[in-house]
Structure 1
Amino acid sequence: MSKNSEPTLSRTPALRALVPEPDRYLIVAGLGTPCFDAARLTDDGDNLFAIDGAMGTATAVGTGLALAQPRRRILVITGDGELLMSLGSLPTAATAAPPNLSILCIDNAAWGLTGFQRTHTSFRTDLAAVAAGSGIPASTTVAVPADLPAGKSLLEDDTQVTFVVLRVPPEPPEPYAFERDGPLCRTRFRDHVLGGAPSAAVTR
């Protein structure tokens, strides 16, 4: 899908269409509105590690988790503002190449929690193109309903690192309660990772 197409998808239903079975994944959410999105998607489940205090780290944390847990499916849910702070994490993910890693960037072209200042994606930056140029082998943009099946399929691909941009209009954030106590969130997530059955076997 062209970056120039006007997005027509609302973020919550689009996210549910792209990730209909969130329990299949260990999910790392980037600071800001993506934490609300991921908590709503999982009902703040034990499989969610919401990064509430370190902007720009979600993709790096997700890459490390994918390398440490090669038999689990890892999904990073981040936003355009969060990812723009750490674009170097994309070539790192591409170089490490864990096949169990998928990255979903919800791009509303704005910093939604701080006053809707425009991000670079509202001008010329195309994050799917940045991911491809970083060496991520499969990337796509989802902006209209017809794009959803391809985006869902890419996120479920367990043979390579994948990257999906979900472009949405700059709507006001919809807050959703999630565990914001860092040590408690870490312990809850660690217990889930070490004590639960694998989310989904990764074929090699």
Structure 2
Amino acid sequence: MKRIDVISMIARKAEEKNSLIVCNIGLPSRELHHVKDRTGNFYMLGSMGLASSIGLGLSLSVPKRHIIAIDGDGSVLMNMGSLATIAHQRPENYLLVVIDNGTYGSTGDQPTATSLGTDLGAVARGAGVQEVHTADNENEIEHILKKIDRGVIVVRVDAGNASVPVIGLSPEEIIERFMAECARPSE
């Protein structure tokens, strides 16, 4: 299973629930934009390691909207403290999906610690996150996404990037349309 397959499933869930999405930097954002561009998607163009934190902050500031953060294993390893903060805040409207391909996919597929045995599901549990789910195939992630709306999901995928175009929006356009969507009342 490829990262873009999981991103497609997350995009469908977000559309069904009218969720806001905060997506990890680099190729994951490009893949989400390619799969399903919408005003409710925030494509991070910088600040590696902060999708989980930005998603958490958004969930606390817009409590009537459902928030999904898509992060990578390298980014979560860079900001593991966010897992403890997520655990202690326990927002009802926040789901963090960590797509673990064992590499820094946007910078050349250098191996991350998860390729050496670090288990981000166990790390999230150790940080105090009560709802942690793991998936290793399409059927598992599809089933989990249908029933879970909060907590942390760690899904293992194959290394590699989809060949997708660069996002054709400026940083200003991305933030302006996303902020307008955040301000819109939930349905």
Report the TM-score, using the length of structure 1 for normalisation: 0.82
Q: Please, which moves more after superposition, 173-182 or 49-58?
A: 173-182
Q: Counterparts in 2 of 1:177-188, with a 5 A limit?
A: 177-178=166-167, 181-188=170-177
Contact persistence 1:22–1:42 (CA under 8 A): no
Q: Counterparts in 2 of 1:38-117, with a 5 A limit?
A: 38-43=32-37, 45-117=38-110
Out of 13, 16, 20, the position equivalent to 1:21 is: 13
Please say if 1:198 is aligned against 2:186.
Answer: yes
Contact persistence 1:66–1:100 (CA under 8 A): yes
C-alpha displacement of 1:42: 2.5
SS of aligned partner of 2:5: helix
Out of 12, 29, 32, the position equivalent to 2:4 is: 12
Higher helix share: 2
User: How far apart, in 2, do the equivalents of 1:179 and 1:59 lie?
Assistant: 24
Percent identity of paired positions between Structure 1 and Structure 2: 31
C-alpha displacement of 1:179: 5.1
C-alpha displacement of 1:19: 4.5
Contact persistence 2:141–2:155 (CA under 8 A): no
Please say if 1:35 is aligned against 2:42.
Answer: no
Report the TM-score, using the length of structure 2 for normalisation: 0.89
Q: Counterparts in 2 of 1:154-165, with a 5 A limit?
A: 154=147, 156-157=148-149, 161-165=150-154
RMSD: 1.9
Contact persistence 2:13–2:145 (CA under 8 A): no
Residue in 2 that maps onto 1:118: 111
C-alpha displacement of 1:117: 0.6
User: How far apart, in 2, do the equivalents of 1:136 and 1:150 lie?
Assistant: 20
C-alpha displacement of 1:184: 2.5
Gaps of 5+ in 1: 1-8, 200-204
C-alpha displacement of 1:94: 1.1
Contact persistence 1:179–1:185 (CA under 8 A): no
SS of aligned partner of 1:39: helix
